[in-house]
C-alpha cells in the first residue's frame, strides 16, 4: 500500500512538472522576441548558428509570427524586422561584424526615439511609422531593409 502511494505521488509530481514546462508556442514566442536583441543575434553569428542550414530553416519556419493573429502577442515587434533581415544571407554574414551590429543597434534606437516623439500622432501615421524600417548597407554594397 505504501508503494502504491509512492507511485501515485511520483505520478502527481511528474504531472506537475510536465504542466509547469513552457509550451512550444511559448518557447517560439520567447525566441522570436529575443531576435530584437541585436547583441544576441551577433552571438548567434559568432557561434555559427547562422551558418547552420537547420537553424536557417527554423528561422524560415518562424516567419509565421508575421501573421497578425500571432504578431499581436509580441511585446517587441522589431523582432519581426530582424527575422526578415535574417532571411538574407548577406545580412547573416555581416551581423558578425561589430561595426555593422553597432550601426544596426544605433538605427533601431533612432527609430524608437522617433516613434516616441510621434506618439501623439493619429493611428494612421503611427502604423506608417511602424512599417517603415531602417535600411542597412552590407559588405557588397547591397541594401537590406
Q: Domain for residue 54, yes or no? A: yes
Report the distance separating Cα 78 and Cα 131, nearest Å.
10
Domain that holds residue 89: 24-144
What CATH number does residue 99 fall under?
Answer: 1.10.10.1340
Q: Are the beta carbons of 103 and 136 closer than 8 angstroms? A: yes
pLDDT tens, N- to C-terminus, the chain (145 residues)? 667 777 777 777 767 677 778 999 999 999 999 999 999 999 999 999 999 999 999 999 999 999 999 999 999 999 999 999 999 999 999 999 999 999 999 988 888 788 777 765 545 544 444 444 555 555 555 556 5
Domain count, the chain: 1
Q: What is the pTM of this model?
A: 0.71
Q: Domain for residue 108, yes or no? A: yes
Q: Domain for residue 13, yes or no? A: no
Amino acid at each position: 500500500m505504501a508503494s502504491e502511494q509512492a507511485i501515485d505521488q511520483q505520478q502527481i509530481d511528474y504531472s506537475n512538472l510536465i504542466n509547469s514546462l513552457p509550451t512550444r508556442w511559448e518557447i517560439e514566442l520567447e525566441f522570436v522576441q529575443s531576435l530584437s536583441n541585436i547583441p544576441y543575434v551577433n552571438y548567434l553569428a559568432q557561434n555559427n548558428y547562422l551558418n547552420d542550414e537547420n537553424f536557417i530553416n527554423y528561422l524560415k519556419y518562424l516567419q509565421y509570427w508575421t501573421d497578425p493573429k500571432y504578431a499581436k502577442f509580441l511585446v517587441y515587434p522589431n523582432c519581426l524586422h530582424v527575422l526578415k533581415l535574417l532571411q538574407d544571407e548577406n545580412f547573416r554574414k555581416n551581423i558578425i561584424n561589430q561595426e555593422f551590429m553597432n550601426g544596426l543597434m544605433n538605427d533601431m534606437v533612432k527609430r524608437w526615439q522617433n516613434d516616441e516623439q510621434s506618439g501623439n500622432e493619429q493611428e494612421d501615421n503611427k502604423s506608417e511609422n511602424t512599417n517603415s524600417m531602417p535600411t542597412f548597407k552590407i559588405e557588397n554594397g547591397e541594401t537590406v531593409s
